[in-house]
Amino acid sequence: MIVLVMVGIFMIIVTSLVSSSNINFKIAGNQQYRIEAKLAARNGMEAYISNPANFALPLPVNPEEIGTDFNGDGVDDMIASVAPPNCTKSTIIKVPELDVSNPNEAQCLGSGSMASTGIFGGSGGVTSGNSWCSRMNWDVASTVADGVTGAGIEMHQGIYLLAIVGTSCP
């Protein structure tokens, strides 16, 4: 009788341990799917940002879908949907804010041949006026909603690009 009671207690302990380990496996799996969704969203966003055509006017109107293959089998495991970028603001860059050693920013100084530029002083030195460039701030959003694993995430990233003064923020 004592042996039967002990076997019953051991069966209850083993059953609870197996149940607990199954829950831990599900938690670990869900965490892995969440990390994969985050990586897929980031991969899609970086691929989208790397293409300058996505920020040229007129802007794209449809979201772009970018897949990520985690296991190397040639089939995309998760797909990120990257919405067209949203211009949040455009501000004129002041001449002292420019890094003239950077060729992209040096072109914002323009030419001192025009007397009304406000960029070069009488002795040819740089003044504190406006440059010929503006800083356009963009918000890029990437969304992953995986139907197989149920993982989902929305990620935003802000970037800025130089543009010629007068380029409107759509």
Per DSSP, the three-state class of 64 is strand
CB proximity list for 20: less than 8 A, separation 6 or greater? none
pLDDT digit string, tens, across residues 97-115: 888 888 888 888 864 444 3
- pLDDT given for residue 118 in this prediction: 46
pLDDT digit string, tens, across residues 40-90: 999 999 999 999 888 887 888 999 999 999 999 999 999 999 999 999 998
110: burial class by Cβ within 10 Å (0-12, 13-18, 19+)? middle
For CA atoms 135, 143, 67, 59, give the dihedral sign: negative
pLDDT greater than 50 at residue 34: yes
- pLDDT given for residue 128 in this prediction: 65
Q: What integer is the mean pLDDT of 1-12?
A: 92
pLDDT greater than 50 at residue 157: yes
